[in-house]
Structure 1
């Protein structure tokens, strides 16, 4: 795949969950994913020992996902032509 075919990762925050960026960079290898934007970081009540990334809601042109690790959560926005099931499958493949 040529470099021009890859989507882009938007860096508009200085902090990200540990290990999140390498996973998002792997997801950019899917040609149907045009842009990935990590968003706001927040705190969660529950504890999630391993990094998880799950689709939350559809947005215009893609999906919003929630990344969780420990007591920290971060929004991640995907602009993609993939269906929700296809994106979930891609995430599952990259995480394992």
Structure 2
């Protein structure tokens, strides 16, 4: 069971409950929401997408509306395994 680091006062609406459930998955150590920015496109619902590999795991981008937020996931899972888990939460 991993932990969710809440070091920002603002996060995308609906992101924290999803990250809390994601942190309960096996082999996920730490999830850290980071920088919020504006995106060009528009996403009607909250979607999390894997971006790049980092030293400890992966960076993901959470998008809703025209806002995007970086999410760092520390894990030993492969990119495909983590993508499958994230896709389950995107469909909910």
Q: Secondary structure at the match of 2:12?
A: coil
In structure 1, stretches of 5+ residues that fail to align are 1-5
Find the partner of 2:50 among 49, 52, 55. 55
Q: How much is the aligned-residue C-alpha RMSD, in angstroms?
A: 0.7
Find the partner of 1:83 among 75, 78, 82. 78
Deviations 1:50-94 (A, max 9, x none): 111000000001000000000000000000011000111001112
Decide which structure has the larger Cα Rg and report it. Answer: 1
Find the partner of 1:38 among 29, 33, 38. 33
Question: What pairs up with 1:3-22 in 2 under 5 angstroms?
Answer: 6-22=1-17
Find the partner of 1:65 among 41, 60, 72. 60
Find the partner of 2:18 among 23, 29, 33. 23
Q: Secondary structure at the match of 1:52?
A: strand
In structure 2, stretches of 5+ residues that fail to align are none
TM-score norm. by structure 1 comes to 0.91
TM-score norm. by structure 2 comes to 0.95
What is the aligned residue count? 91
Offset, 1:95: 2.3
In the TM superposition, structure 1's runs of 4+ consecutive aligned residues that sit over 2 Å from their partners are: none
Offset, 1:31: 1.7
